[in-house]
Amino acid sequence: MLRYWAIALVLPPLLTLVLFGGVHTAVWAALVAAAGAVLLASVREQLAAGGPTVHPRHLRWLAIPYLLALALVALQLWPAPPAGLAHPLWASAGQALATAVTPRVSLAPADTLDALMRLAAYGALFWVAVQAGRSRYVARAVLRWVAAGCTAFAVYGLVVYLGGLGTVLWLEGTPGEVTGTLVNRNNAATVLGTGWLTVTALLLGELRERLGGAETAGERRRVVAGYLLGSGLWLTGAWLTLLSALLLTHSRAGVVTSLLGLIVVVLLLLSRRVFGALVRRTVVALIALGLLATLALSGGVTLDRLAGTELETEQRFDAYAVVLDAAGDAPWIGTGLGTFREVFRFYQPADLPGQWGMAHSTYLELLLTGGWPLALLLVLPGVVAIGTCLVSAPMRRRDGHIPTLAGAVGLQVGLHSAVDFSLQIPAIAAMTAVLLGVGVAQAWSSRAELSR
């Protein structure tokens, strides 16, 4: 039965990833339905077992702000909210139409309801991942499924790129960039970075287990070589494939945040004594060699873009200033989660052309559409989950690679979302929620009693 929980957790995000990441309504609605079904099945199993594997009180610092955030989004949807909370444009609309309208905080209630449904789905997947992820079998299987899914994503992207097809599934794409099944290269880089970090954690985690019985430096070297060229060969190939695809997205932020995540994974996992100084140096040298070789073969454009970055010419930074100014008009309650497109056009200056459906910074968009309280309540659970994983990982005697990986992916995706909108892609948000869930579940000792 345990194997099915791993599949149930990763299948919705991966299938959503295949279909443009879930940016279309029908696809993300299916993700929401799947998350609901997984939650109901989990609750049913927990009730039959006499209670949850992890009692809610152990998750209170994540659950309380998350539930308060859901309540605030519901308030944004509430018809005729308390005086002074409804957006003034509703009154203007009523006067212009000479008819009665129902005022709300949200300027686009349908979009806010959509955002609320997606937010609830991510929370459901996280909860189930925590409950099922207490099993090391489930947690390990989740990581392997994510690694396999992201590698398949990379292979497809490389085939399209090398074949000069310039397509995203059946739609026209951007030639000369690896985007996989996503339209935006930066979002593709987030997926590829997540897969790359997952493969790295699996390699180091499995190496640590095999090195447990090796006593001499020579034995350790033989174990490392035998594993990388034997049972771990597919992971070695996946590591290089994912890195190549990541560099060929030509996403500056995607590459930088993935490298920061790699540093976290390597520092936390290679600090274990079982590796030995010689093995640590060998592994670091192999990683460096792989990075340099892949950079030489496929990273030229990315390096050129990094070297040529000029902040003053980046339009998104002009947009950030406009968003911050606009957020000051409704700092406490926002304009409704998911309403950025509707709101930004009222503030968009003439010298900032184009249609802006996203702020290209998830956190600034949260400030505008949710207000400061909602933005903080939504960010806090992620910070707590990442901190829990990274603080506990060095203290785990076994399976420390699972919380390490979860914390590193949380950092990678979270940092990238500061200058882009990866977390607003349903497949990426759902996958991150699942990985953080199993990471938090494995942050506690397997001997800890958490059911009460």
Confidence of residue 8 (pLDDT cuts 50, 70, 90): very high
What is the percent of the chain where pLDDT is above 90?
52
Question: Both tokens of residue 244?
Answer: 């190549």
Q: What angle, 0 to 180 degrees and rounded to 10, lies between the N-to-C axes of helices 340-347 and 315-327?
A: 100
Confidence of residue 206 (pLDDT cuts 50, 70, 90): confident
Q: Give pLDDT tens digits for 11-54.
A: 999 999 999 999 999 999 999 999 999 999 999 999 888 888 89
Q: What is the pLDDT of residue 190?
A: 96
Angle made by CA atoms 140, 390, 131, in degrees to the nearest 5: 45
> In this structure, which amino acid lies at residue 418?
A
Confidence of residue 181 (pLDDT cuts 50, 70, 90): very high
Confidence of residue 412 (pLDDT cuts 50, 70, 90): very high
Query: For the chain, which residues make up each domain, given as ranges?
Result: 2-312+357-441
Q: What is the pLDDT of residue 388?
A: 95
Distance CA 394, CA 269 (A): 8
Rg (CA), the chain: 23
Per-residue pLDDT averaged across 390-396, rounded? 87
Q: Give pLDDT tens digits for 90-143.
A: 666 656 655 667 778 888 999 999 999 999 999 999 999 999 999 999 999 999
What is the percent of the chain where pLDDT is above 70?
87
Mean pLDDT, the chain, rounded, equals: 86
pLDDT exceeds 70 at position 274? no
β-sheet bridge partners, residue 172: 167
Compute φ and ψ for 142, nearest 5 degrees.
-60, -45
Q: What is the pLDDT of residue 311?
A: 47
